[in-house]
Amino acid sequence: MLRLCDLGIVRACKVQDTITALNTQYVNAINQDNVNSVMELYDNDCVMMLEGFETISGKSRTQPYVAKMIGDVTTVTFTSQEVTPMDDAADYVYQRSKFSGQNANGKVVYDGKSLMIWKKNDSSYKIHIHMYNSDS
Protein backbone atom coordinates (compact mmCIF):
# COMPACT_ATOMS: atom_id res chain seq x y z
CA MET A 1 0.00 0.00 0.00
CA LEU A 2 1.34 3.42 -0.95
CA ARG A 3 1.57 5.51 2.18
CA LEU A 4 0.90 9.20 1.73
CA CYS A 5 3.50 9.94 4.39
CA ASP A 6 6.05 8.50 1.95
CA LEU A 7 5.11 11.50 -0.18
CA GLY A 8 5.68 13.87 2.73
CA ILE A 9 2.06 14.37 3.74
CA VAL A 10 2.35 14.11 7.53
CA ARG A 11 -1.33 14.52 8.49
CA ALA A 12 -2.34 11.80 6.04
CA CYS A 13 0.33 9.52 7.50
CA LYS A 14 -1.04 10.00 11.03
CA VAL A 15 -4.56 9.28 9.79
CA GLN A 16 -3.37 6.14 7.99
CA ASP A 17 -1.63 4.95 11.14
CA THR A 18 -4.77 5.60 13.20
CA ILE A 19 -7.06 3.75 10.77
CA THR A 20 -4.57 0.88 10.51
CA ALA A 21 -4.58 0.54 14.31
CA LEU A 22 -8.40 0.61 14.39
CA ASN A 23 -8.51 -1.98 11.62
CA THR A 24 -6.24 -4.21 13.71
CA GLN A 25 -8.68 -3.84 16.64
CA TYR A 26 -11.55 -4.73 14.29
CA VAL A 27 -9.84 -7.88 12.98
CA ASN A 28 -8.73 -8.97 16.47
CA ALA A 29 -12.26 -8.54 17.85
CA ILE A 30 -13.70 -10.62 14.99
CA ASN A 31 -11.07 -13.32 15.49
CA GLN A 32 -11.90 -13.36 19.23
CA ASP A 33 -15.64 -13.70 18.43
CA ASN A 34 -16.28 -10.45 20.33
CA VAL A 35 -19.33 -8.78 18.78
CA ASN A 36 -19.43 -6.02 21.42
CA SER A 37 -15.85 -4.95 20.68
CA VAL A 38 -16.57 -4.89 16.95
CA MET A 39 -19.71 -2.82 17.49
CA GLU A 40 -17.77 -0.28 19.58
CA LEU A 41 -15.96 0.62 16.36
CA TYR A 42 -19.21 1.55 14.56
CA ASP A 43 -20.80 4.99 14.66
CA ASN A 44 -24.30 5.17 16.21
CA ASP A 45 -25.64 6.37 12.85
CA CYS A 46 -23.71 3.81 10.80
CA VAL A 47 -24.93 2.51 7.47
CA MET A 48 -24.15 -0.99 6.24
CA MET A 49 -24.53 -1.96 2.59
CA LEU A 50 -24.13 -5.69 2.10
CA GLU A 51 -24.38 -7.71 -1.06
CA GLY A 52 -27.86 -9.18 -1.36
CA PHE A 53 -29.43 -7.09 1.41
CA GLU A 54 -31.17 -3.74 1.60
CA THR A 55 -29.32 -0.85 3.24
CA ILE A 56 -29.18 -1.19 7.03
CA SER A 57 -29.06 2.03 9.07
CA GLY A 58 -28.23 2.46 12.74
CA LYS A 59 -25.97 0.60 15.12
CA SER A 60 -28.76 -1.45 16.72
CA ARG A 61 -30.01 -2.66 13.32
CA THR A 62 -26.45 -3.38 12.14
CA GLN A 63 -25.46 -5.52 15.13
CA PRO A 64 -27.31 -8.74 14.09
CA TYR A 65 -25.58 -8.72 10.68
CA VAL A 66 -22.18 -8.21 12.29
CA ALA A 67 -22.93 -11.00 14.78
CA LYS A 68 -23.83 -13.39 11.95
CA MET A 69 -20.68 -12.53 10.01
CA ILE A 70 -18.54 -13.11 13.11
CA GLY A 71 -20.36 -16.36 13.87
CA ASP A 72 -19.63 -17.69 10.39
CA VAL A 73 -15.84 -17.36 10.71
CA THR A 74 -13.06 -18.26 13.11
CA THR A 75 -10.34 -16.31 11.32
CA VAL A 76 -10.56 -13.19 9.22
CA THR A 77 -7.86 -11.21 7.45
CA PHE A 78 -8.07 -7.68 6.08
CA THR A 79 -5.51 -6.13 3.78
CA SER A 80 -5.83 -2.37 3.35
CA GLN A 81 -5.22 -1.26 -0.19
CA GLU A 82 -5.92 2.41 0.32
CA VAL A 83 -6.54 4.70 3.31
CA THR A 84 -7.16 8.34 2.39
CA PRO A 85 -8.64 11.38 4.15
CA MET A 86 -11.67 12.71 2.27
CA ASP A 87 -11.42 16.30 3.51
CA ASP A 88 -8.75 18.72 4.75
CA ALA A 89 -9.66 18.21 8.41
CA ALA A 90 -9.61 14.41 7.95
CA ASP A 91 -13.07 14.19 9.53
CA TYR A 92 -13.92 11.49 7.00
CA VAL A 93 -11.51 8.82 5.78
CA TYR A 94 -12.11 6.04 3.30
CA GLN A 95 -10.46 2.65 3.53
CA ARG A 96 -10.51 0.19 0.64
CA SER A 97 -9.56 -3.37 1.58
CA LYS A 98 -9.52 -7.02 0.59
CA PHE A 99 -10.78 -9.54 3.13
CA SER A 100 -11.04 -13.25 3.67
CA GLY A 101 -12.80 -15.24 6.39
CA GLN A 102 -12.33 -18.92 7.14
CA ASN A 103 -14.50 -21.23 9.24
CA ALA A 104 -13.23 -23.73 11.84
CA ASN A 105 -12.48 -26.27 9.08
CA GLY A 106 -10.28 -23.75 7.25
CA LYS A 107 -12.81 -23.32 4.45
CA VAL A 108 -13.03 -19.80 3.03
CA VAL A 109 -16.59 -18.61 3.63
CA TYR A 110 -16.04 -14.92 2.88
CA ASP A 111 -13.65 -13.55 0.29
CA GLY A 112 -14.04 -10.15 -1.25
CA LYS A 113 -13.58 -6.43 -0.98
CA SER A 114 -14.65 -3.80 1.50
CA LEU A 115 -15.07 -0.05 1.60
CA MET A 116 -15.32 1.69 4.96
CA ILE A 117 -15.94 5.37 5.51
CA TRP A 118 -14.56 6.32 8.92
CA LYS A 119 -16.01 9.41 10.61
CA LYS A 120 -14.23 11.34 13.33
CA ASN A 121 -16.39 11.59 16.45
CA ASP A 122 -14.75 13.93 18.95
CA SER A 123 -11.14 12.72 18.80
CA SER A 124 -11.68 9.15 17.59
CA TYR A 125 -12.80 7.52 14.37
CA LYS A 126 -15.81 5.24 14.02
CA ILE A 127 -17.04 3.24 11.03
CA HIS A 128 -19.78 5.39 9.52
CA ILE A 129 -20.46 3.52 6.26
CA HIS A 130 -19.44 -0.07 5.57
CA MET A 131 -19.91 -1.79 2.23
CA TYR A 132 -18.59 -5.17 1.21
CA ASN A 133 -19.21 -7.82 -1.39
CA SER A 134 -17.91 -11.19 -2.42
CA ASP A 135 -15.39 -11.99 -5.11
CA SER A 136 -17.08 -15.33 -5.76
Predicted pLDDT at 3:
53
Question: pLDDT digits over 41-83, tens only?
Answer: 999 999 999 988 999 999 999 999 999 989 999 999 999 999 9
Q: pTM for the complete prediction?
A: 0.89
Residue 13 in this model has a pLDDT that exceeds 90: no
HSE, CB side, 13 Å, CA atoms: give it for residue 5.
Answer: 10
Distance CA 23, CA 75 (A): 14
Predicted pLDDT at 108:
95
